[in-house]
Homo-oligomer: A and B are copies of this chain.
């Protein structure tokens, strides 16, 4: 838990906001945001409550910072060239694959984002940004339909929900350091997802890029 404490008890770890954020997100995921008090955060971080308030005015401000980190990373993917240029199916493959990579790279922050239910202004704000991201995915699925790649009769909105559900569920079980690299997992998940929503006899979705 207190990685930064080291072997002895002589010095308190020096906290920067990022390290405090990391500990707080662990606690939020473990106990639930609502059920975590600032006193518990302080204890987990090995800090006094006043030290936490030095960095963040409130528990909700910590949540906001953590959710921003996940959302900013996801929205950055939308700006990548691979998500903006080329045929819709290739852009969708890029978007799904990079979303999985971001999920793995920012695992605790994205996990927290995916558990947000809208119980505060900050949660409602995060849900609205998530919906915005999901809409961009849905638009891309709809665009693949217009090029004949989508399987017949599949509603693009439903296709997008199923794809995002599959991708997001990776946060429930993936643990870094296992045999499966983030890049390999991302390629497989994007390919399975795209193949799933593609026409059974239509053109195959783009394969993973050669490396």
Q: Which residues of A contact B (CB under 8 A)?
A: 30-32, 34-35, 117, 119, 151, 154, 158-159, 161-162, 164-166, 168-170, 172-173, 180, 185, 188-189, 192-198, 200, 204
**Distance between A119 CB and nearest chain B CB, rounded to angstroms:** 8
Give the residues in chain B near A189, CB-CB below 8 Å.
162
CA distance A170 to B169 in the complex (A): 11
18 interchain pairs, CB-CB under 8 A: A31-B34, A34-B35, A151-B192, A158-B185, A159-B192, A162-B169, A162-B189, A162-B193, A165-B168, A165-B169, A165-B170, A165-B172, A165-B173, A168-B169, A169-B169, A195-B196, A195-B198, A196-B197
Most buried by B among A169, A172, A188, A197: A169
- B188 & A192 in contact (Cβ 8 Å cutoff): no
Give how many copies assemble into the complex.
2
Give the residues in chain B near A165, CB-CB below 8 Å.
165-166, 168-170, 172-173
- B192 & A154 in contact (Cβ 8 Å cutoff): yes
CA distance A68 to B161 in the complex (A): 28
Contact partner of A35 (CB less than 8 A), chosen from B32, B161, B173, B185, is B32
10 new A-B contacts at CB < 8 Å, known A32-B35, A195-B196:
A32-B32, A34-B35, A159-B192, A161-B173, A162-B189, A165-B166, A165-B170, A165-B173, A195-B195, A195-B198
CA distance A19 to B161 in the complex (A): 31
Known contacts A31-B34, A34-B31; A166/B162 CB under 8 A: yes
CA distance A170 to B119 in the complex (A): 21
Give the residues in chain B near A151, CB-CB below 8 Å.
192, 195
